[in-house]
Amino acid sequence: MVGQTAVVLGATGLTGGHVLKLLLQDETFTMVRVLVRKPIQIEHPRLQVVICNLEDKAELQQKLGAGDSLFCCIGTTLKQVKGDLEAYRRIDYDIPVGAATAAAGRGYKNFLLVSSVGANAKSRNHYLRLKGSVEEAVKTLPFQAVHIFQPSMLLGERNEFRLGEKVGKVLMNVFGFMMMGPLRKFRAIEAATVAQKMVAVAKSSVSGVKVYRYDEISG
């Protein structure tokens, strides 16, 4: 699908940053729009930076604009919201679902979501339950294709320090090769690899709801 307009939420994050870089390198996408809370230090003739309060539903819907593919890479942590579960839900549920709903109403063809391995709307784990709830909500929307990416631990250099991730990365490097069979989906994966797969499927003619775990992302 050539001549696409791609819109990215979460372009300043780990995976979203890789997605943005790849989109700007790919002339399939004639316009790349990012919705961000504050200006970013990137300039490109095909890049449109839109300052937006993503938690304001009406503003998000207005500034989303027309497009073909919406890449949703947004997410937070309990530490970032200081343990506020309502704030956590506004970012990890309300923004993705609100943006997807608006995009579907504007005729976008593709919705691409970074979720998590183990996401399940019935999970007892708050994080996995929230991710699963987002998945269930966007699956019902009238897109040509909904692509859901369920990576385990994402590898790459973040702008912030996360001790748990640093420890997890060490353990993954030591024991990752032991994760075989059903455990393969829990292997850590480079955020850049996830981004590459997202951009690739956005250019494809795949339709319906597709879920990508470790093997589907890295293969």
User: Residue type at 184?
Assistant: R
Residue 64 · residue 99 · CB < 8 Å = yes
Annotated catalytic residue, options 21, 63, 93, 127: 127
The residue among 146, 166, 142 whose CA lies nearest residue 154 is 166
Residue 201 · residue 210 · CB < 8 Å = yes
The residue among 23, 54, 26 whose CA lies nearest residue 38 is 54
Q: Is there a catalytic annotation at residue 38?
A: no
Q: Is there a catalytic annotation at residue 127?
A: yes
Q: What is the DSSP letter of 184?
A: G
Annotated catalytic residue, options 131, 185, 197, 214: 131
Task: Tell the burial category of 124 from Cβ atoms under 10 Å away from its Cβ (0-12, 13-18, 19+).
Answer: exposed
Residues labelled catalytic: 127, 131
